[in-house]
Amino acid sequence: MDCARVAEVFRRQHARGRFPGGQLVVRRGGQVVVDEAIGLASGLRDGEPQVPVSAATRFQVFSASKPFVAMAVALLEERGLLDVAAPLSTFVPGWSADRTILDVLTHRSGILLPALVADEHRWGDRDAVVRAIAETPPRYRRGTFAYGPYEFGWILGEIVARVTGEPLPAFLARELLAPAGIDVAFTTTGVAGTDADLARTYWLGGRQVVAGTELSARWEAVHNHPATRAALVPGAGLIGTAGALARFYELLLDGGRGLLRPDTIARYTTPLPTAFDRSNRMPLRVARGFLLGQRWPSLYGWWNTARCYGHAGAFSAVAWADPVWGAAIAYVTNANRGPVELLRRSAPIGTSVRAP
């Protein structure tokens, strides 16, 4: 890997205006080999203070949080505390009796909640979220591949809380993240310095609809609001640095370091057949909470990334493990335009990491 070349690809993207600010971290062999922080965390809109990005700047990484939620479920499965084949109603009365944890992990439950997703004022109300899941009929038949951008985390996070008796963030921090030195948070509540070091998120593209919800019109107003950032949205609300995300994927590449079993990591990153996603309107290759690479262009490189596993966060961030090259990569920015534009930014990074 030519580390200078990798960093230069990232810096050129910023110079061309592809994102206001961001971070790029690559870890390999237990060391940080690329560590870039560039641009503005805030200041793109009138009246905002101009704040530069540093290595300590936290970003909202949205759905890049899904693998973290999946690993909380994996820990409980390892310990025999839950069966992923069990119906959701086993854990939460009133929830579906014919959809399982595994269905949710693999985005095949058919449960989508567009009314709740569109009403951010209810995100911080746990009881309201639980009721909405119970009262909303599934949109698709069980087994239909329909990515749940928010539903994934709301459902699995509640189940983890019911099984452990504590909120998902507390369980995951104690059992996995803190021992591994991974500093991320699922809400801004109680996180020292968050308001000062949290980058703003920007929508710079056109109209975008995912899972029946139009995202672009109110993106900045919703996701930059303090109440939204303080709400627990486990599958779409992680806050952290590129450095922390890269540490997470290095942990998985290292076989869990005694915190997770290697066979568990292998099971959760084993691909399902490529299928057409009804939510994003494109074919995707997934595992249990992870987006996987492909032979053709993917977020992880322009070709032959089938063994890579990770996840995108909205249309601004991507973090992944590349087992072929033994690299953990985190690409984090504050610019959202759409899936194709994110591919055009992240794939060159992954390809440059793989270059001799």
Spatial separation of the C-alpha atoms in residues 19 and 13, rounded to whole Å: 7
pLDDT at 31: 97
- Residues ≥6 apart with Cβ < 8 Å to 248: 67, 68, 177, 180, 182, 184, 319, 328
Strands 275-277 and 282-284: antiparallel
pLDDT at 192: 76
Spatial separation of the C-alpha atoms in residues 236 and 98, rounded to whole Å: 25
pTM above the 0.85 mark? yes
Q: In this structure, which amino acid lies at residue 127?
A: D
pLDDT at 196: 78
pLDDT at 345: 97
Q: Is 171 helix (H, G, I), strand (E, B) or coil?
A: helix
CA distance to 56, 138, 214, 280, per residue, from 276 (Å): 38, 18, 20, 9
pLDDT at 217: 77
pLDDT at 10: 98
Q: Answer whether 317's CB lies under 8 Å from 337's CB.
A: no
Spatial separation of the C-alpha atoms in residues 163 and 285, rounded to whole Å: 29
pLDDT at 210: 65
* Cα separation of the two ends of the chain: 5
Kindly give the residue spans of alpha helices, DSSP state H, lying in 43-95. Answer: 66-78
Fold entry, domain 3-69+172-354: Beta-lactamase (3.40.710)
Low-confidence ranges of the chain (pLDDT < 50): none
Spatial separation of the C-alpha atoms in residues 57 and 202, rounded to whole Å: 16
Considering the chain, tell me which residue range(s) the CATH 3.40.710.10 domain(s) occupy: 3-69+172-354
- For residue 305, what are its two tokens? 């990334």
Q: Is 157 helix (H, G, I), strand (E, B) or coil?
A: helix
